[in-house]
Chains A and B, each alone.
Chain A
Amino acid sequence: MLDAFANLAGGFAVALQWQNLLFALLGAMMGTFIGVLPGLGPLTTVAILLPVTFYLEPVSSMIMLAGIYYGAQYGGSTTAILANLPGEATSVVTCIDGYQMARQGRAGSALAIAALGSCFAGIVATLVIAVAAPPLTRFAMLFGAPEYFSLMVLGLVAAIVLAQGSILRALAMVVLGLLIATIGSDPQTGLARVTFGVPQISDGISFVPVAMGLFAVPELLKNIVWPEEKVALDARVNRLWPTYEEFRLAWPAVVRGTALGSILGILPGGGALLSSFAAYAVEKKIARDPAKFGNGAVQGVAAPEAANNAGAQTSFIPLLTLGLPGNAVMAVMAGALIMKGIQPGPNVITAMPELFWGLIASMVVGNAMLLVINLPMIGLWVKLINVPYRLLYPSILVFCCLGTYMVGNSVVDIWMLLVFSALGCVLQLLKFEPAPLALSFVLGIMMEENFRRALQVSRGDFMIFINHPISAVLLASAVALLLVVILPGIKQKRKEAFQE
């Protein structure tokens, strides 16, 4: 425990260096800026801004990406409250009561509560990471090839089960991602394979065009072809400070939301989405007057906002300790680290303590910054929400192209962007979710490598995955999770939970 604080202090020394402060600030600002724009959720925002961080030192680039991530999340809450437009699924619940509050003239209160709640949750979640990460890392150090393979199987399965949508289709996406990951080179011999004679992809496909092609471009086309009803926005934000009564109702909800979000965020597939939904459901269940929910209940904003921020932050734990990205945003983060030549996993904390602890400390700094920059600038964000999409989408497209080109200074990446945009659009038309594909694309090579190494050690005996106790437990958990969702009774429950 004391260790954690000493480490955290070291982290602050990194995070408070002026250039890192600057990058955290820049990231949070840019994240909010893009996140507020209609139709751009945190995932798309992180994907689009990924190239911006490419030329930075690893520590600074992670700090900036993290800033972009929670900035975008905060921007999403702003649009949810002011315009009933959830940038991404994580802000869907905030719309319910936040928008009602705005319509009653309490937009300022809702925004302030969302910001204060997120900030509190962010700080608590950071402490959770500081305490929970080192033991998990030590545990992960015991892992050999079979354990790693089983861990990744469990991670992928859990990510699917806890997310929305058809399990079978999500599994199919995982497999497709594994196949695409094999493009590049054989992990054991390093020889080129499946490169179709293109030398530029013999080190594997760059993650930037994949992320943009799968997420940004299809999203953009969706918004053109099937535009969402836009509410005429007349949110004058007159008073920013909540009333005493609102405070009294909000703070216990914030604490509950933070607790729930911190725990759910650690689970693979958990993260911000599950946390916010669960927190809203809990508040509605325990409220003395549930009828208020949906009509501007303060708790309905406070709890999910705290939970999604806590969850967003603790979802870094599996990535930084086990090397396992739990959701698509973390997959992008993992992609960014790999592009820097850093393999996310238990070695990060010992080999690069300044990266690990600096990133964590910067989260506290960034959350405080969000509060300070964003509340006074709310007027600007309101203006941004009103930017018409007809001007926005050509600009986004150009930035996707420019960003993709700049990562490798090569047109080949533009053709990759084209290929993956086409794939993304086909998947969208066929109603597939691209998130599981992104996860398994990031994990693919590691999974293959560990699979092959395990079977080499056992001379081809598949029992190695079961004879190693940790591996067996991990695989059994994966199977149990799958069975749980496939069995009909629970399937129904899961549906209900997501509809709520």
Chain B
Amino acid sequence: MSEHHGRKGASWLSLSVDLVAGIFLFLAGVAGLIATWSLPTGTVARMGAGFWPQAVSLLLCMFGVGIAALSFTRKGELFELPPLRPYAAVFGAMVLFGLLFERIGMIPTVIVTMLVAGLASIETRWVQLSILAVVLAILSAVAFVRLLGLPLPVFWWR
């Protein structure tokens, strides 16, 4: 499957995709119930803010149980964790963007984000990517700040 990354993603306790999916939905429903627990439910004729979200959460739990239960009746694919590195790199890049943008400005942030994102692929060629990152950073600063006049920080000093 992911020969590209040199190793097969680890099969996770040999659980089927359906079972994990069911558990996920159930937990999402439970989370919804917890988050809306304190809201007034009201009655059917005069619903409070909590009625609909609580009903939807319950329904979600039911779907979760249903999909998990069905997973025992048929043999489905096994759930596989993908290689971690691409996910870590892409999400890391987004986190850095959020942390840095307002602090050090657009040009350095764009460069950092692109380089960190480059860690996701083993095909990345660093010189090429660095040049592209600098060019894109300058181009977006020109387009958004100069031409469109948006009040965005370009560097940390302006």
Which residues of A line the B interface, CB within 8 A?
A: 55, 168-169, 171-172, 175-176, 178-179, 182, 186, 188-189, 191, 193-194, 196, 217, 220-221, 224-227, 388-391, 393-395, 397-398, 401-402, 405-406, 409, 411, 414-415, 417-418, 421-422, 425-426, 429-432, 448, 451-452, 455-456, 458-460, 462
Contact = CB atoms under 8 A, between A and B. Distances in A.
Contacts of B90: 217, 220-221, 224, 397, 421
B36 A397 contact: no
B4 A226 contact: yes
Q: Is the interface of A mostly helix, strand, loop or mixed?
A: helix
A401 B113 contact: yes
Contact of A429 (B82, B123, B125, B148): B82
B78 to A, nearest CB: 12
Contact of B21 (A388, A395, A432, A460): A432
Contacts of B43: 460
Interface in B38-94: 39, 43-47, 49-53, 56-57, 59-60, 63-64, 66-67, 70, 77, 79-83, 86-87, 90-91, 93-94
A495 to B, nearest CB: 15
Interface residues of B, number: 74
Interface in B96-113: 97-98, 101-102, 106, 110, 113
A398 B117 contact: yes
Nearest to A462: B44
Interface of B: 1-2, 4-5, 17, 20-21, 24-25, 28-29, 32, 35-36, 39, 43-47, 49-53, 56-57, 59-60, 63-64, 66-67, 70, 77, 79-83, 86-87, 90-91, 93-95, 97-98, 101-102, 106, 110, 113-115, 117-118, 120-121, 123-125, 128-129, 132-133, 136, 140, 144, 148, 150-152
Contacts of A224: 86, 90, 120-121
A417 B97 CA distance: 11
B94 A452 contact: no
A452 B97 contact: no
Given A175-B59, A179-B28, A390-B125, A402 B140 contact: yes
Contacts of A182: 36, 52-53, 56
Contacts of B77: 431
Contacts of A176: 25, 28, 60
A172 B64 contact: yes
